[in-house]
Structure formats: structure tokens, C-alpha cells
């Protein structure tokens, strides 16, 4: 409604200078905290954006709207604030003018009423650059640590790298295309070419976003697949991988073909082209809902297995917190979902698409960083031993226990109990069984592994060993 209040003011000016160029009425003062510098910036932008003449289609609307208001015809301040006049002007201009002409009228009216140019993206470029740098550093440390410790790179590592690579074009577009072409600003302060360029590259980023989200989820699922050995869990993970892959491919295809012809996605805003599109708002919301549901599902898989691990609650809490780092990206996804409340038929796309673009950028980079957190923990544990988890501190006390599995720690405990009872292990004494005795000997397979590999496996307390006493965690 405020938009058409300013439209009314512009038409009042047009009636005073019909056929003459419209002058930019720059406010001498501004309520902005930036003071004189902000006033100069607003003046320069408004002067450059001022149209040479108010469109003729809107001139008759003034007389029509004046019938609905009590404001004097020459009272500019009253006209700018009167809702009845604004409503009448909105209906008239919408019915008589094209979208481009309406934007020209809006630009003139904002100048007439001294409305400063709104720019919601002043800190967007530094924030975008900071997030992409952080995400890159996380991926670099992941690969550097594994190369340094001579660990084998797995599918999850390559998926993480792919997610980073896919995020880089979006980061470049954000800083060097979308921001210079008006992201976060009102469309009527921009040129028509800027609006078209913005929507075109925003559509490309939408495709990259759908692909990047799927790849980052696959990276985490392949990480789970590498550390879980239970057949039933691996089947669940494989099914989840297939679903996420199809989920990503489906939405990428829908995003590419959302409009027919494809170019109609960025040309339709001006109403001068023919074509048809899907309900883009519904597409974005449905993707967000499925993505959030997948986040909770992927969190439930390891936490469900943790119930069967026979360790004390302190260890369980530590492991649960480690798996729960993925909730950070879930929180961001929920915040992004709140920004999906927009319409695909908006006449102010550069402003209305700002929040969804901002949260999409944050979600992608936070997702990449969350996938890399386990390797970061390992690196910190190597560099700062005091930061090692409680699980590792427990095993560090087992000085005589060879590096490797939790089973070997159990065997060491049994040996200690046998020693306290005054008995020796079967392999350490000569047996002369009595004829009336039954001798039973147990053999345990012991698998040694390199310390570098053990560090990563001790990070996740998920593999199970079946025994007569139930399920026990095995770190191997």
C-alpha cells in the first residue's frame, strides 16, 4: 500500500508539470544513522534513477483517486500518507499501465515523497565471502589431515569436495553479479536490464543450490556407511543414499524446466513475453520440507544405534553430541524455510528474493562445515591432546592394551580379573587336567590396525560385537 501512496504523489507532481521532465526531489535530511553521506548517496541514486517523464497511462488516475480522499489536491504530505488515495491509485495504475510503466511511476513517487532507497544487502558480500572462505578452509583441513596421517580418502571425502566445488559458482555470482545488479534493493530503483540479469543468475543459483544440498547430504551418508558395519544399518543407509540422489536429480530437473520456454523464468517479470511456469513458491517450499525431514532422518540413524551400545551415559552423551553437530544445518534450513513465503509473480524480485538467497548461501556453507567437523576434531586431538574426547582418554589409560579394538580392552580386563583370582591364562601355564574335570578354552581373534586408522574409528562408537552378554561397542 505504501508503494501506491508514493505513486499518488508522483501523479500530483505530474499534474503540475505535464509534459515537462520530472525533477528528482531529494530530501535535505534523512533519518538514517549514516547522516550526510547517506543523504548524498540517496540523492545520487535517486537522481540517476529518475524517469524523464511520468507515463501518460497514469495521469488520469489522479482525478479518479482524488474522489476517494479528503486531502487537498496540492497537499503533498497528506497525499503521500492517505491510504484511500493510495488504494484508488493502485487499482487504477494496475489496470491502465504495464509493469515497466508502474515501476517508473513508483520510482517518481518515491522521489517526490522523499523516500530513501532501501538497501538490505549492504553486508551481504562480506558475509558471503566469509562463509565461502570458512567452508574452503574446513575442506582443506580435512584433506590435509588425511594426507598427513596417510589415511585412505573415501567416497565421503570426494563428495565433500564436490559440494565445495559446486558452491563456488554461487559464491562468485553472489558477490559479482547479484549484488551489483540490485540484490536487496527495490526493483524500481534499478534499470530493466539489471532486473533481468538478477533473475537469470538467481535461477542458475537455484539449480546449483538443489544440487549442492543433495551432494552434501550424500557426503554425510557415505561417512555413515564407512563407519557402520551392521548389515541392517547399511541397508538403511544405502536406501537413504538412493533416495537423496533421486531427490537431488528430480529437483534439479524441475528447476531447469520450471518454465517453458526456459528463458521465460527471467523474462516473465515484465509481462511482455509469452510462456508458462510451475508454481515456483510451492516447488521451493516442498524442497525445503523434504530437506528438513531428511536432516532429522539422518540424525536419527546414528542416535538409534547408540541405544544398543553398552557404555556409560557420559560416553553416550559425548558421542550423541558429536553426531548432533548436523543439527546446525537443520536449524539453518528451518530459518531458510521461513524465507520461502514469497510469490513467483512478485513485481519486486530483487527485494523479495533477498532473504531466500541469503539463507541458501548460509545453509550450503554450514552444511559443508558440519560434514568436516569430525576430521577437525581429530586434527585438534592430535595437536592438543587435552582436547581428546572422554572415550579416547579412557583408552589412553589402558597403557598395556594394544591399539585397536574395544574387544582387546575387554580381554585385558578379563586377564586382570583372572590374575586377581590367582589363576593364569591358559596360554601362560601348563595344564594337567584332572580326569574328573572338563576343560574349556576360548580363543579370541585379535586384529591390529595402524594407529592412524584407529584414531578415526575411535571417533565413532558405532560398530557392535555380538556376545553372550549382549551388544558391546567395538572401536575398529
Count of CA atoms in the C-beta half-sphere (13 A) of 443: 1
Q: Give percent helix, percent strand, percent coil of the chain, each to the nearest 5.
A: 65, 5, 30
List, in order, residues 6 or more apart from 232 with CB less than 8 Å away: none
Distance from C-alpha of 125 to C-alpha of 171, rounded to nearest angstrom: 9
96, 98, 103, 108 alpha-carbon torsion, rounded to 10°:
-50
Concatenated DSSP letters of 123-154: THHHHHHHHHHHHHHHHHHHHHHHHHTTPPP-
Cα-based distances in Å from 407 to 3, 447, 471: 72, 10, 11
Sign of CA dihedral 190, 196, 202, 208: negative
Containing 73, the helix (H) or strand (E) segment is none
- Using DSSP's 3-state secondary structure scheme, residue 450 falls into coil
Distance from C-alpha of 54 to C-alpha of 77, rounded to nearest angstrom: 19
List, in order, residues 6 or more apart from 338 with CB less than 8 Å away: none
List, in order, residues 6 or more apart from 419 with CB less than 8 Å away: none
Measured between its terminal Cα atoms, the distance across the chain in Å is 65
Concatenated DSSP letters of 18-32: TTSPPP----S---S
Distance from C-alpha of 390 to C-alpha of 397, rounded to nearest angstrom: 11
Concatenated DSSP letters of 379-446: HHHHH-GGG--HHHHHHHT-TTSPSS-HHHHHHHHHHHHHHHTT---GGGS-----TT----------
Residue 280 and residue 344 in contact, taking contact as beta carbons nearer than 8 Å: yes
Q: Which of 302, 283, 150 is nearest to 221 (CA)?
A: 302
Residues in the chain: 476
Check the annotation: does 267 bind a ligand. no
Distance from C-alpha of 249 to C-alpha of 314, rounded to nearest angstrom: 41
Can you say which residues are annotated as belonging to the binding site for heme? 75
Binding residues: 75
Amino acid at each position: 500500500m505504501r508503494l501506491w501512496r508514493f505513486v499518488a504523489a508522483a501523479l500530483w507532481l505530474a499534474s503540475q508539470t505535464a509534459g515537462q521532465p520530472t525533477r528528482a526531489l531529494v530530501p535535505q535530511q534523512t533519518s538514517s544513522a549514516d547522516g550526510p553521506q547517506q543523504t548524498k548517496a540517496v540523492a545520487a541514486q535517486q537522481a540517476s534513477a529518475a524517469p524523464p517523464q511520468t507515463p501518460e497511462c497514469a495521469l488520469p488516475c489522479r482525478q479518479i483517486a482524488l474522489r476517494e480522499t479528503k486531502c487537498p489536491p496540492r497537499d503533498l504530505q497528506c497525499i503521500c500518507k492517505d491510504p484511500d488515495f493510495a488504494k484508488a491509485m493502485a487499482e487504477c495504475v494496475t489496470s491502465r499501465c504495464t509493469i515497466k510503466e508502474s515501476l517508473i511511476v513508483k520510482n517518481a513517487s518515491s522521489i517526490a515523497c522523499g523516500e530513501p532507497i532501501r538497501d538490505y544487502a549492504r553486508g551481504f558480500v562480506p558475509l558471503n565471502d566469509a562463509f565461502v572462505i570458512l567452508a574452503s578452509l574446513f575442506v582443506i583441513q580435512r584433506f590435509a589431515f588425511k594426507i598427513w596421517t596417510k589415511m585412505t580418502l573415501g567416497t565421503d571425502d570426494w563428495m565433500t569436495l564436490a559440494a565445495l566445488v559446486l558452491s563456488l559458482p554461487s559464491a562468485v555470482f553472489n558477490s559479482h553479479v547479484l549484488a551489483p545488479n540490485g540484490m536487496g534493493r527495490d526493483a524500481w530503483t534499478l534499470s530493466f536490464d539489471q532486473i533481468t540479469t538478477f533473475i537469470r543468475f538467481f535461477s542458475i543459483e537455484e539449480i546449483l543450490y538443489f544440487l549442492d544440498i543433495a551432494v552434501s547430504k550424500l557426503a554425510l551418508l557415505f561417512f555413515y556407511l564407512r563407519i557402520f558395519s551392521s548389515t541392517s544399518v547399511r541397508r538403511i543407509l544405502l536406501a537413504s543414499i538412493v533416495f537423496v540422489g533421486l531427490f537431488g536429480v528430480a529437483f534439479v530437473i524441475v528447476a531447469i524446466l520450471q518454465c517453458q520456454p526456459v528463458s521465460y523464468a527471467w523474462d516473465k517479470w515484465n509481462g511482455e513475453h509469452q510462456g508458462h511456469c510451475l508454481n515456483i513458491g510451492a516447488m521451493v517450499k516442498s524442497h525445503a520440507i523434504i530437506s528438513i525431514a531428511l536432516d532429522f532422518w539422518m540424525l536419527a540413524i546414528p542416535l538409534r544405534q547408540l541405544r544398543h551400545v553398552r557404555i556409560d551415559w557420559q560416553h553416550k552423551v559425548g558421542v550423541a553430541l558429536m553426531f548432533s553437530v548436523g543439527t546446525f544445518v537443520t536449524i539453518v534450513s528451518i530459518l531458510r524455510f521461513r524465507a520461502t513465503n514469497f510469490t513467483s509473480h512478485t513485481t519486486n524480485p530483487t527485494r523479495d528474493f533477498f532473504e531466500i538467497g541469503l539463507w541458501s548461501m548460509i545453509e550450503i556453507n554450514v552444511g559443508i562445515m558440519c560434514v568436516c567437523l569430525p576430521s577437525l576434531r581429530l586434527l585438534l586431538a592430535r595437536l592438543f591432546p587435552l582436547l581428546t574426547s572422554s572415550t579416547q582418554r579412557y583408552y589412553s589409560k589402558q597403557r598395556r592394551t594394544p591399539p585397536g579394538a574395544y574387544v582387546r580392552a575387554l580381554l585385558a580386563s578379563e586377564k586382570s580379573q583372572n590374575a586377581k583370582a590367582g589363576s593364569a591364562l591358559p596360554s601362560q601355564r601348563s595344564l594337567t587336567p584332572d580326569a574328573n574335570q572338563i576343560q574349556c578354552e576360548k580363543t579370541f581373534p585379535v586384529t591390529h590396525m595402524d594407529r592412524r586408522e584407529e584414531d578415526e574409528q575411535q571417533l565413532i562408537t558405532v560398530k557392535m560385537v555380538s556376545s553372550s552378554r549382549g551388544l558391546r561397542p567395538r572401536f575398529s
